[in-house]
Structure 1
Amino acid sequence: MPKRAFVPPHPDTRPDGPAADSVDTRADARADADTEDPGKTAAAQATAAPPRQIARPGRPEEPTRQNPPAPRSAPRAAPSPTPPLSLEKHAQPPSADPRSADELTDLTIVKPRSDAPASGWRRALYSLTGGAINPGIGPAERRRQDLVARIQRPLPGTHFVSVVSMKGGVGKSTVAALLGLMLSEHRGDRVVGIDANPDAGTLADRLTGESELSVRDLLEHLDDIRALPDVARYTSLIGRLQVVASAQRPTTRTEFDGRAYEQVTGVLSRYYDIIITDSGTGMLHSAMAATLQRASSLVVVGTPTVDGASRASKTLDWLVAHGYGEAVERAIVVLSADRSSDEVDISRLRAHFTARCRAVVEIPRDPHLAAGGRIEVKRLRPATADAYLELAALIADEFGSAPPQRAVS
């Protein structure tokens, strides 16, 4: 390799100061390196660290003389992580045998599409354009879909829901009725509501208006029950919800006590997946004790008033004192605003019950429910329907994870 002569810079153009000395030093070093033995120079270049290369995103590094390409056997650098795709728009179909019909599902052959809005201006725009413009669903509708998805959670066995309060007139039967309607409407299994109030409850009146045959009639004919149609003879139907009424006739001889409740629900559990019990106000009644011992979920009803809220809290106190502390921690408190007052600090009530229980659901005042007649879901205000949908989702959150409660002896 021919040697190159070093030509110093012209004195007039040579910079002054420390920077100039640094330039001279580097230039002299290069000159000395050029005059050294070529073999040593090559060895030094081979052992020297390669210059740092700037990686360009999305493109592999281009080989250079200073950074030769790695041999084929060398492992490649791990690629930079990519953000996860949206499951909603890019859900991956489950693996299936391409030679069977299992491959043909809605996830594999249906093109991704946006959900059609069901209400509001979004629905109006979608309808006016014949679906050409689809703004998608809004936050409120998305929340309803999420609640329905929770309600449809798989249920491994019979689930008992007890709706209780030591005070009457707070909307307990209304809560039990609408909870049953929401669960039965959005689930494929069987749901039944039973009025366990020994003193002529109103559950069937609020739902179907039929109470000719009652739980006491069912009790007297338990030995005749062989199949679901035999049970249906003693129930009334609204939508997909079946209802067992409480006895309305004061001349009925059979007493509905704790033992009777155990017998009736033992039969119902053979044919129904969810059993909702609308209990009476007598906390010391044996039927109440049997209801609480069966309960997988507990709903305590009150109102945003001084008397209604204090009685709901006293109900929790009674439950804790009688060995149901764990049930209280997992309980849901429902505050029904059919009776309410602007003078009550609702945020204070919410904080009180939130500290004691799993959740608090506030039911807004609804003229349809306040009338006290038969309930029709389609006549509910949207906010009321959403509140009961939330209650049903909270109940479903415990499916498969809430064992029946037993009082501490």
Structure 2
Amino acid sequence: MDGSETGWGRQAEPAPRWRALLDRARLAGRGAEHHDVDHRAEETPEPPSETLPRRAAGTGWTGRAQAVARPADASFGAEPAYRVEATYRVEPAYRVDPRYGGEPAYQAEPAYRAEPEPRAEPSWRAEPEPRAEPSWRAEPEPRAEPSWRAEPVRPPEPAYPEPPPRGRGTASVESRYALLDGGYQPEPAPAESRYALLDRGRYRPEAHPVPEPARIEPPRIEPARVEWRAPEPETELERAAGVLRRELGGPRVLAFANPKGGVHKTTATVLAAATVGSVRGRGVLAWDDNELRGTLGLRAGSARHARTIRHLIHDLAQIEILEGATLLEHLDDYLRHASDGSYDVLAGEESPRFAQRLDQFTVKRVLELLRRTHDVVCVDTGNNVESPNWRTVMQAADQLVVTTVPREDAAFSADWMLDLLHEEGMGELADNAVTLISCPTPGRTPLQDDLERHFATRTRAVAVVPYDPALETGSSIEYHQLQAETRQGWLKAASVMLEPFAR
């Protein structure tokens, strides 16, 4: 081993500096001329010998430190290495570079670290010398104002030739500037020369008036002339629609009656409700109060359910105690509605098995309920004038509508009913009734003229509605599918019915 490798195949730590010195001292006698001199000694000059370090005194460490020196290499021919006991392990200060054999001179550490000489602190801190303030603040030298304001230098005025002697005020415009200094009194100078005269102190505003700009008169606007024109006369249809839109002073019940069947009671009830509802938009109801099997529910409204007056009477006690929107919501479950939503329908009993006669007390309760929810109630009465149901509707009606067709039997039945009402103490209702003549066929017959003259003497008014082919089939009635002439006739007839109540 040459001192660079250990026995375990790892790089050895470099030998301490004193190890080399000890080997040279021990081999000084016989290895001086040895032929196998270390090649490092030839290449590197021998450093000066140093005295071997003495064994240091104990440091108080109780253990024994094993020497870290390796045995001498056999190439020197020296005696076998011995173990040097040391009381402490000397760690190398640095790693020896194998490129050179000599060790650098050991740099002796001073016994103490020289402290830097403290910087002398002055016994007092010199305060900065205060800036000398002048005892007085020099005021800026005022700018010398000239005792007089220099007039701006004007370019010399051109010399005008001396004008020939003329009379005062006759000088031409070209020479008046030259004559100003000679006492010439010019005519009133125009606006462009007054500024030059001001500088000379000779301008007098009153002598040189400034012409005022031309005054532009605003255009004179004549006040609008309001001419009163008489309003155009209202047409009969506009007047009829206006009557239906007015307030009626409360809910009104219209009773359509004639003891004879087939005189258009159901048709008149549906079309009157549709006409009033199309104008007012809400609050109109058609009730089929026929004791037998009524057909109003089939000809009017959409059959969204099968409930009739029988179902309403069954739940009448629970419904009539309700108020406001809750009442309308619950009553709507028993009503049918027109296709256009202009009116509601309370259908009569459509099954003969459940047909029953309504007593007087029940009819009053139903009418009172319908008055609370609708403005106009059109009632299709039955044919039995002796039943309490029929008489109760007549007594509660605000307007009686006597329906008939241009036939003698139908007219005779209507005339007899009016006599009966007078006998029963309802003569006022009969006198204020409206006779409605429906034409089942096109054209006008001589009998129609006789009927109009006759019932005009017995009732308040007579209204005639024309024939319409859409009504001849007897199917569902759609108001918007009627002819324009038919709708106009029903509009006039409905206005006649409600005219006494319109406000």
Normalising by structure 1, we get a TM-score of: 0.62
The letter of the residue matching 2:291 is: P
Alignment partner, residue 133 of structure 1: none
Is 2:426 the counterpart of 1:324?
A: yes
Q: Distance in 2 between matches of 1:389 and 1:341?
A: 20
> What is the CA-CA distance between 1:258 and the residue it aligns to?
2.2
Sequence identity percentage: 28
Residues 48-127 of structure 1 mapped to structure 2, 5 A cutoff = 85-87=229-231
Of the structure 1 ranges 165-174 and 312-321, higher mean CA displacement relative to structure 2 is found in 312-321
Alignment partner, residue 283 of structure 1: 385
Alignment partner, residue 97 of structure 1: none
Q: What CA deviation, in whole Å up to 9, does each residue of 1:250-277 have, x standing for no partner?
A: 3327542322211111111111111111
Alignment partner, residue 307 of structure 2: 213
Change (3 A) 1:339 1:198: farther
Match of 1:380 among 452, 465, 482: 482
Q: What CA deviation, in whole Å up to 9, does each residue of 1:277-319 have, x standing for no partner?
A: 1100111111111100110001001110111211121221222
Secondary structure of 1:251's counterpart equals helix
- The structure, 1 or 2, with the larger RCO (C-alpha pairs under 8 Å, 6+ apart) is 1
Asked if 1 retains the 8 angstrom alpha-carbon contact of 2:285 and 2:344, the reply is yes
Secondary structure of 1:288's counterpart equals helix
> What is the CA-CA distance between 1:157 and the residue it aligns to?
0.9
The letter of the residue matching 1:397 is: E
Match of 1:163 among 226, 246, 256: 256
Q: What CA deviation, in whole Å up to 9, does each residue of 1:77-117 have, x standing for no partner?
A: xxxxx9964246xxxxxxxxxxxxxxxxxxxxxxxxxxxxx
Is 2:279 the counterpart of 1:186?
A: yes
Residues 114-263 of structure 1 mapped to structure 2, 5 A cutoff = 142-208=235-301, 210=303, 212-225=306-319, 226=322, 227-238=327-338, 239-252=341-354, 255-263=357-365
Asked if 1 retains the 8 angstrom alpha-carbon contact of 2:292 and 2:355, the reply is no
The letter of the residue matching 2:316 is: L
Asked if 2 retains the 8 angstrom alpha-carbon contact of 1:304 and 1:340, the reply is no
Q: Distance in 2 between matches of 1:87 and 1:337?
A: 36
Asked if 1 retains the 8 angstrom alpha-carbon contact of 2:258 and 2:417, the reply is yes
Q: Which structure has the larger Rg over C-alpha atoms?
A: 2
Q: What CA deviation, in whole Å up to 9, does each residue of 1:44-81 have, x standing for no partner?
A: xxxxxxxxxxxxxxxxxxxxxxxxxxxxxxxxxxxxxx
Alignment partner, residue 29 of structure 1: none
Residues 21-32 of structure 1 mapped to structure 2, 5 A cutoff = none
Alignment partner, residue 358 of structure 1: 460
Is 2:412 the counterpart of 1:310?
A: yes
Q: Higher helix share goes to which structure?
A: 1
The letter of the residue matching 1:232 is: D
> What is the CA-CA distance between 1:181 and the residue it aligns to?
0.5
Change (3 A) 1:252 1:307: same
Normalising by structure 2, we get a TM-score of: 0.51
Q: Distance in 2 between matches of 1:342 and 1:181?
A: 25
Secondary structure of 1:365's counterpart equals coil
Secondary structure of 1:345's counterpart equals helix
Q: How many residues get paired?
A: 269
Asked if 1 retains the 8 angstrom alpha-carbon contact of 2:256 and 2:378, the reply is yes
Asked if 2 retains the 8 angstrom alpha-carbon contact of 1:216 and 1:256, the reply is no
Q: Distance in 1 between matches of 2:260 and 2:355?
A: 26
Q: Distance in 2 between matches of 1:179 and 1:348?
A: 25
Match of 2:492 among 369, 383, 390: 390
Change (3 A) 1:321 1:342: same
List alignment gaps of at least 5 residues for structure 2: 1-225
Root-mean-square deviation over aligned CA pairs: 2.3
Asked if 2 retains the 8 angstrom alpha-carbon contact of 1:180 and 1:276, the reply is yes
Q: Distance in 2 between matches of 1:271 and 1:345?
A: 41
Change (3 A) 1:375 1:253: closer
> What is the CA-CA distance between 1:183 and the residue it aligns to?
0.8
